[in-house]
Structure 1
Amino acid sequence: MDTDAIAELKAVSEAGNIDALYSLIGKCGHVFEQFDGKSLVENPIHIAARNGHTHFALEVMRLKPSLALILNAQGHSPLHLAVQKGHNTTVLRLQEMNKDLVRVQGREGMTPLHCAAEKGNHQLLVAFLSANLESLTDVTIRKQTALHVALQNNMVDCVHVLLSVSWKKLLNWQDEDGNTPLHIATKYNQFQVVKKLIDRQVDINATNRENSTALGVSQELGNQEIKDLLLAFCAPSIPRVYSSVNNYMRISLNERLMDAAEAGNISMLYSLLEEEPYLLQYVDDIPFAETPLHVAIRFSHFHFAVEILKLKPSLCRRPNQEGLYPIHLATKNGHNCKILQRLLTVDGGDLVRLPWREDKTPLHLAAEQGDVHLLRMFLSACPLSILDVTIRNETALHITLKENKLDAFHCLLRQLRTALHEGSKEQEKKILNSKDEEGNTLLHIATRNNYPQVVRVLLNCGVKVNAKNSVGLTALDVAQDDSPKAIRQMLMKAKPSRASTSDDHHQDNNIQRSELSFVDRTVLSLMRYKRDMSMEVRSLLLVVSVLIATVVYEAALDPPTIKDDRAKNNNVSLLLNIMAMTNSSSNTHNYTVSFSNINGSRNSTTSSRIHALLGDTSYTTILFWTSNILALSSSVLTVFAILPSEYIHSVLFVPLYGFSLCYVVSTAFTGSLLWFVITLVLLKVLPGGLLYVYRVSFRFKPRTY
């Protein structure tokens, strides 16, 4: 019966069938006792690990943990077998349940760490060292560390990982033949490793059992490049003595560095760097590890984090075992705004686009949290980050609507609509109509979640009302019967509703931040057109505008001849009389203008006044001055608008204003009083208009937070 049960258990293990396992346990409750206490016997965990049945192996290990420590007939534990077969998931899950499995010694004293180094699996190597750093000290029956094994098998990636965490005792460890890692790297012509070992200040003069140094090995093998490198550093040295008595020396430099980061102790940081100058470089070489920058951010030690960034900026691009970059960690903490501001100065703000788990960027995390301040900070540093999507094809706008973060949504929408970088207009249309993995646009989500004000704003933005999701439904189809009536009406009309109820008053206040007035939209369109304008087009428009202004100004100085020459004198005389009467005005408001000096007759006073005021009222004259004024003002506005920078605007504002003033004064001598007044008003309105446009455009400039 026991033999049959064991055979059936092995068959169940080969299949990885957990249900069949429990059926067997129901029949024979003591089936695992057949393996308990027996070594060099293959048990169910061996079979499951070799075949990659992760859940089956975990279930058996949960029921009988001791089976994971037993070696089979070939001298391998279940973890050894999983490493050899490349079942990384099984390996990681097993060592999560028992971190000491990494140190189980199998055939020839090889641990799973040695096996990973032999196979060149640097990902497992990092996981093992993160779980149990002391496993570095384990040696085989040949007194080889994992570093010796990786070097002998030319596994360069594993060598770099091991070098980054090994302390000097291990770097100078000698195997049974007396060879140090430097001897082995020299023997296998691994120049970069030799260079790195020298940088770590290993004992270059150490000799093996054949009394050969690494230099002697290079001379025997004829490795000239390595020989030259060793010759440059070789010198008589005092043998190094390593003691295992002092517990403090057993603690790796990396652990002490983490302690300094946790305490925010900058003095301790520099003490460690004096002891090991390449300490931060070794940390940087590990692909996935908790760096001192992560720890400093987690404990909000701003000055320590800044010091690390100054010494090793590349650490801001190193993820930990969870895949978290420092900027993601600071975003999740939320209160590290000063640290975030410093991180955003690295690489021109591109850190905002670093993807984390599920391709979520810091902008997506801020959108999930609804943190408006962080959203503005990130978009100010990197406007293009709003284009990034998660693995579910969600933009930050999708996330805010799904998470009911309406303030964050309106903040993002306004930033999107007021963006001025190249191609921003096309990108706005693309994002507003983008679909997630289910084919839902922003309009679908707003409709489904009953956000009438958001629907109104999106329709104002010109989103595609008839866009369909993956099941063929439009936003109107998504609208339920219990949806607000306003939503259905707006979708059916595809026009924004101007009506609002008292219940929506709070939402209206938020909506105003994402809606733009007609003037704002006009100015923004002009600014985007200006931003996308090439230098060739800009130069052409400037030349043409200046030519038009010059020709128009010349025409105003010498307009078509007025038949009645008295009009010119009347203009000047009437202007002088009005100015004189203004200075001597009385409370009766009964002014009389005498034109006796002009015509010599009281009967012609009224006609003279009209003629002096209007001058030549023929259609040709009216058409001339109207076109002249419009041409000059539009030319001046064009020159002002397409100048490349605000500094040039400020410099040229006074000359342009003076030019317009000269034009206005010239109309008093060449035209009539009517045109003089019109151009005088223009002189008042034109600079005000220019300044208003400048102020509106300034509102759309990126802020620095």
Structure 2
Amino acid sequence: MERRLYDAAVQGNKISLLDLLGEDALLLDRFITGRYPETPLHVASMLGHLEFVHEVLARKPELAKEVDSHKSSPLHLATAKGYLQVAKSLLQVNPDMCLVCDIDGRNPLHIAAMKGHLDLLKELVQARPWAARVLMEQGETILHACVRCNQLEALKLLVGRVSDHEFLNCKNHEGNTILHLAIAAKQTEVINFLISSTTIDVKCVNEDGYTALDLLSQNQKDMTDKQIVESLRRIGATHAKESPLSSSQLKAIRTKILWDQTDPVPKLKKRKHGKRLVHSNKNADWLERKRNILMLVASLLAAMAFQAGVNPPSGVWQDNGVSGFSTTESNGKNHTAGLSVLADNNSDVYTIFLICNTTGFLASLSIILLLISGLPLRRRFFMWVLMVIIGLDWLNARTPPRTHDSTSFQIDQVPPKISDEIGEPDIPTP
């Protein structure tokens, strides 16, 4: 019976539909509870069978929100084919289907704009205007879709109905506004409309650092292009190198540069403009140079701190025994081989040395781990902080503790019987 119902939907045969429902009143319910690639309402909507659609919606309006294997609703299919009356019937039953996106991330308003079905687009915008602000794949808006498909009238309609300054200048994932796309595709009418009738930002820079004027200047081939350049100039358009970047633009460019670089050696990012080369942002190069210098200095300081830790000032005791020479505090005390001489002779100085040395060692290791972790350090402030830490470590390394008492001893404290232990030679009496 499902096969017969599909045939009736293809033909738009309302009488056959009624006969089948007379035989099985639950026939349409199976398409709601079961797993079918599409429903008879999808077929009838795609083919524009209005009476069949009315009859199905009158008996089972829930079928209007069912989606097929491509996540398309009957409203998607009716919109794609441009069946205005079918779409109106579906909207009356469930206008929220304007917000449902198919497998490609497009809702019925996106499809109507891309196809240029203006009457349908008006109905959909009137039913759910905020559906026009839903983003598609690659972060593109419905305005991007209009420009890509060269649908100027649909663009004018949407700019007048649902667009504001922020939405009009929205960027996709590549940082391109609709003006960038229009210039790249040489859509002269769209460009003239945008620069004459909207508040499009002609100075906006994309992810590659190009303004609209930069893109147009690369491929000036005819008089029309030159006229567009003049029009852009009149409303304040500039090349990217002529206008300073905003903080958000600088942040985006720096992030892209730092993540794209695979060689730790700073290098120039080259892009061909005829015979010219566009260099990477100077601030990013400065950060990369400082990163390499910090890595080198931090490694040296960590090695110095480690060496000082295993071989402290004044050395270590070479044997076990009684301290026969040192300060008064440690005089006559036992010492152990391998322990610091300074720790026994002047524990306060040794403690200060140990704290400073450990702090410098850990700080250097922390900076090394931070730099090799791949974390993008995009601000000069953070780099200055790391440089100050390195400077403090360097001062610790350059000012070892004074061990005035630990390295000096008085003559009377020298063990007196060294010669006795060695033994003096017997001199024969003549």
One of 179, 182, 186 as aligned partner of 2:176: 179
Alignment of 1:190-201 (within 5 A): 190-198=187-195, 199-201=197-199
Choose the corresponding residue for 1:226, options 228, 245, 251: 228
Q: Is the 8 A contact 1:186 1:226 kept in 2?
A: no
Partner of 2:410: none
Which letter maps to 1:171? L
Aligned residue in 2 for 1:137: 133
Q: Is the 8 A contact 2:61 2:93 kept in 1?
A: no
Relative to structure 1, the CA distance from residue 196 to residue 66 in structure 2 (aligned partners, 3 Å threshold; closer, same or farther) is: same
Q: For structure 2, which runs of at least 5 residues remain unmatched after alignment?
A: 249-430
Query: Deviation string for 1:7-40 (max 9, x for gaps)?
Result: 1111121222223222212222221232215567
The structural deviation recorded for 1:43 is 0.1
Contact 1:118/1:149, CA 8 A, preserved across alignment: yes
SS at match of 1:36: helix
1:147-186 alignment runs, 5 A limit? 147-165=143-161, 166-186=163-183
Aligned AA (2:83): H
Count residues with an aligned counterpart. 237
Are 1:119 and 2:115 an aligned pair? yes
Task: Kindly report which structure 2 residues correspond to 1:366-377, keeping only aligned pairs within 5 A, or say none.
Answer: none
What's the counterpart of residue 216 of structure 1?
214
Instruction: Trace 1:66-145 onto structure 2 (pairs within 5 A).
Output: 66-145=62-141
Q: Which amino acid counterpart does residue 224 of structure 1 have in structure 2?
A: K
CA offset digits 1:657-702 (Å, max 9, x no partner): xxxxxxxxxxxxxxxxxxxxxxxxxxxxxxxxxxxxxxxxxxxxxx
Q: 1:64 to 1:143 in 2, by over 3 A?
A: farther
Q: d(CA) in 2 for partners of 1:86 and 1:27?
A: 34
User: Aligned in 2, Cα 1:180/1:240: closer, same or farther, shift over 3 Å?
Assistant: farther
Deviations 1:73-131 (A, max 9, x none): 24422112112223222122222332222222113111111111111111211221122
Distance 1:177 1:155 in 2: 21
Distance 1:151 1:180, change over 3 A: same
Residue 170 of structure 1, CA deviation: 1.5
Within 5 Å, give how 1:228-377 maps onto structure 2: 228-232=230-234, 233-234=236-237, 236=243
SS at structure 1 position matched to 2:172 = coil
TM-fit CA distance, 1:239: 5.4
2:316 is aligned to: none
* 1:229 partner letter: S
**Identity across the alignment (%):** 29
CA contact (8 A) 1:76 1:106 kept: yes
CA distance in 2, matches of 1:216, 1:109: 31
User: Is contact 1:43-1:72 (8 Å) kept?
Assistant: yes
2:56 counterpart letter in structure 1: V
Per the alignment, do residues 39 and 69 of structure 1 end up closer, same or farther by CA in structure 2, a change over 3 Å counting? Answer: farther
Q: Is the 8 A contact 1:110 1:140 kept in 2?
A: yes
> Which structure 2 residues correspond to residues 565-584 of structure 1 after superposition, within 5 A?
none
CA distance in structure 2 between the partners assigned to 1:112 and 1:94 by the alignment: 12
Q: Name the CA shift for 1:58/1:144 in 2 (closer, same or farther; >3 Å).
A: farther
Are 1:83 and 1:115, in contact at CA under 8 Å, matched by a contact in 2?
yes
Indicate the RMSD between aligned Cα atoms, in angstroms: 2.3
- What is the distance in 2 between the residues matched to 1:168 and 1:66? 38
Report 1:509-524 matches (<5 A): none
Q: Any idea what SS the aligned residue of 2:135 has?
A: coil
Q: Counterpart of 1:178 in structure 2: which amino acid?
A: G
* Alpha-carbon distance in 1 for matches of 2:35, 2:218: 46
- CA 1:129–1:237 in 2, change beyond 3 Å: closer, same or farther? farther
Contact 1:61 1:68 (8 Å CA) reproduced: yes
Could you tell me which residue of structure 2 aligns to residue 42 of structure 1?
Answer: 38
The answer to whether the 8 Å contact 1:39/1:71 transfers is no
Q: Say if 1:136 and 1:146, in contact at 8 Å, map to a contact too.
A: yes
What SS does the aligned partner of 1:107 have?
Answer: coil
CA contact (8 A) 2:64 2:93 kept: no
Instruction: State the distance in 1 between where 2:131 and 2:20 align.
Output: 37
Give the counterpart letter for 1:213 in structure 2. Answer: T
1:548-601 Cα offsets, whole Å, 9 max, x none, are xxxxxxxxxxxxxxxxxxxxxxxxxxxxxxxxxxxxxxxxxxxxxxxxxxxxxx
In 2, the alpha carbon distance for the partners of 1:62 and 1:210 equals 54
Closer, same or farther in 2 for the Cα pair 1:38/1:159, shift >3 Å?
farther
- CA–CA separation in structure 1 for the residues paired with 2:156 and 2:133: 17
Equivalents in 2 of 1:203, 1:78: separation in Å?
Answer: 38
> Are residues 1:32 and 2:34 paired?
no
Aligned to 1:61: 57
CA change 1:230–1:240 in 2 (3 A) is: farther
Match of 2:138, SS? coil
Change beyond 3 A, Cα 1:224–1:39: farther
Q: SS of 1:142's equivalent? A: helix
Task: State the one-letter code of the partner of 1:204.
Answer: V
Asked if the contact 1:186–1:218 (Cα under 8 Å) also holds between the matched residues in 2, the reply is yes
Distance 1:67 1:161, change over 3 A: same
Change (3 A) 1:187 1:40: farther
Counterpart of 2:205 (choices 204, 207, 225) is 207
The code of the aligned residue for 2:237 comes to C
Return the alpha-carbon distance in structure 2 between the equivalents of residues 238 and 208 of structure 1: 11
The 3-state SS of whatever aligns with 1:47 is helix
State the partner residue of 1:188: 185
Amino acid across the alignment from 1:209? E
- In 2, Cα distance between the equivalents of 1:107 and 1:225? 41
**Aligned counterparts of 2:2 and 2:230: Cα–Cα separation in 1:** 63
Structure 2 Cα separation of the partners of residues 224 and 210 of structure 1: 23
Check 1:240–1:48 CA distance in 2 against 1; reply closer, same or farther (3 A cut). farther
2:67 maps to amino acid: L
Query: Are the equivalent residues in 2 in contact too, given 1:203–1:240 (CA < 8 A)?
Result: no
The CA deviation at 1:240 is: 11
C-alpha distance 81-139 of structure 1, shift in aligned 2 (>3 A): same
Higher helix share: 1
Residues 1:93 and 1:239: Cα distance change in structure 2 (over 3 Å):
farther
Q: Which amino acid in structure 2 is aligned with residue 132 of structure 1?
A: R
Listed as ranges, the gaps of 5+ residues in structure 1 are 242-705
Separation in structure 2 between the aligned mates of residue 138 and residue 147 of structure 1, nearest angstrom: 11
